Amino acid sequence: MSPLLFFKKTKSFKEGNIDSILLLRHDRIGDMVLLTTLFKSLRIKYPYAWIIVLASEKNKEIIQNDPNVNEVLVYRGLLWFIGETRKRRIDLVVDLFYTYELKTAFLSYISGAKYRIGFEIAGREIFFNLKGPRMQRSTHMINCLLDIAEYLGVDRKESSPQIYLMEDEIQWAKGYFASKNFVDGELKIAVHPGAHYQSQRWPVQYFAELIKKITDKFKVRVIVFSEKSEKKILAQMQDIVGMDNVEYAHDKTLRQFMALLSQCDLLICNNSGPLHIAVAENIPTVSITGPTDLNLWSPCGKEHVVIRHNLPCSPCNLSFCQRHKCMELVIVKEVEEAVDAQIQRINRKKTYA
C-alpha cells in the first residue's frame, strides 16, 4: 500500500446532492460501447442530474443521440479540462478507466468535483474521496461497471450495451445496400479485419481466404469494412479476394458504419470496437482473439462465437507481438466451420420468423 494513502480523505456520499455527473471514458470505441450499459440505470437513479460524458474524438459518435446523456465533451487537453469542469461545478466525477495508470484518477481530482470515485488499484484511490471497488481480472467489464454503479446507489441489474441510431441513418444504410445491388433475402456478411493493436489482428490473408470460401459455399454478399488508416489492409483483401460478391468500405464515418452494420446478418472480426458495436446492435458475431483477456472483454450472449488458442503466455494484453502465434495458430478451417454454423442458424431463424 502506498504511504500516501494514509493521507487520503473519504467523504460520506449524499445522493440527494447530485445535480451533475461527469463520466470519464475518453479513449477507445469498444470501451465506450460497454459504458452505455450504465446510462439508463444512472438516469433512473438520478432523474434530474445533468449527465456529461468525457469522450475522445474517436469514440464520441457512439453516444450520439443517447437519450440518457445530456452532454458530450471531447477531451482537448489538461488546461481545457480544468476550465470546462470548473465552470460547470460538477458534483460527481466517475473515473471508469480500468487501469493502473494514474492520469484519469488525477483528472478527477483536478476537476473540482465534490465527489470522486473510480477503481482502486496501485494507489489510484489517493485521488478519490469516495470508496470504490477494487480492480479484479476474473469478471467481465460490464460486471466491473455495475460494481462501481452499485457504490453510487444504483440498483444492480443485468444490462447490456445500447446504441441509438436515428431513422434517417437506418434508411440511409438501406439505400446504400440497394445502390450496391444487395438483394433482399441474400444474407449480408460484414467483415472487419482491423483492430486497434497489431497483436489483435488475425492475418489479412486468412480473412481473405475465409471470404472466398463462404462466398463460394453460400448465397451471401460480403461487405468488408476498414478504417481510413487501414487502407493497406483493404488493398491486400482486394488483391486476394477480388470484387465479385464483395463490397469494400473504408470511407465511412463511425455512425455510417454502425448504421450499415445494423442491416447485416453477421459480423466476422477480431476482438475490437466493431465486435462490441455488433453486440449492442444484436448482430451475431464470429470473432478471433489472442492477447485479449476474455474474462474482461468477451462478447456476451449465445449468438456470439469466440475462437481462440490458449498458449502459456495467454492472455498477454500486449499491443505488439513479434511471434503472434496465438493469432496465427487459428486456422481458416475452424473459423469457416464457426461461420457455417452461424449462417445455418441465421437461415433457420429467418425461415421460422
Condensed to tens digits (0 to 9), the pLDDT of residues 109-141 reads: 999 999 999 999 889 999 999 999 998 777 899
- Nearest C-alpha neighbor of 190 from the set 243, 247, 231: 247
Binned at pLDDT 50, 70 and 90, residue 6 comes out as: very low
Other C-beta atoms closer than 10 Å to the C-beta of 228 total: 10
Q: What integer is the mean pLDDT of 230-249?
A: 81
Q: How far apart are CA 170 and CA 178, in angstroms?
A: 13
| pLDDT at residue 238 in the model | 81
More confident residue, 45 or 233: 45
| pLDDT at residue 7 in the model | 45
Q: Is 263:319 a contact under the CB 8 Å cutoff?
A: no
- Residue given cell 486476394 in the structure block: 240
| pLDDT at residue 3 in the model | 46
Residue 10: DSSP 8-state: -
Q: What integer is the mean pLDDT of 91-98?
A: 96
Q: What integer is the mean pLDDT of 257-274?
A: 97
Which string of DSSP letters, residue by residue, matches 74-133?
E---HHHHHHHHHHHT-SEEEE---SS-SHHHHHHHHTT-SEEEE-B-TTGGGG-SS--P
Phi-psi region of 245 (alpha: psi -120 to 50; beta: other; left: phi over 0): left
Structural domains present in the chain: 3-150 (3.40.50.2000), 168-352 (3.40.50.2000)
Q: Is 50:73 a contact under the CB 8 Å cutoff?
A: no
**Does residue 296 surpass a pLDDT of 60?**
yes
Q: Is 190:223 a contact under the CB 8 Å cutoff?
A: yes
**Does residue 1 surpass a pLDDT of 80?**
no
More confident residue, 349 or 9: 349
**Does residue 314 surpass a pLDDT of 80?**
no
Q: Is 5:132 a contact under the CB 8 Å cutoff?
A: no
| pLDDT at residue 4 in the model | 47
| pLDDT at residue 322 in the model | 67
Question: Phi/psi of residue 222, each to 5°?
Answer: -110, 135
More confident residue, 246 or 8: 246
**Does residue 353 surpass a pLDDT of 70?**
no
**Does residue 242 surpass a pLDDT of 90?**
no
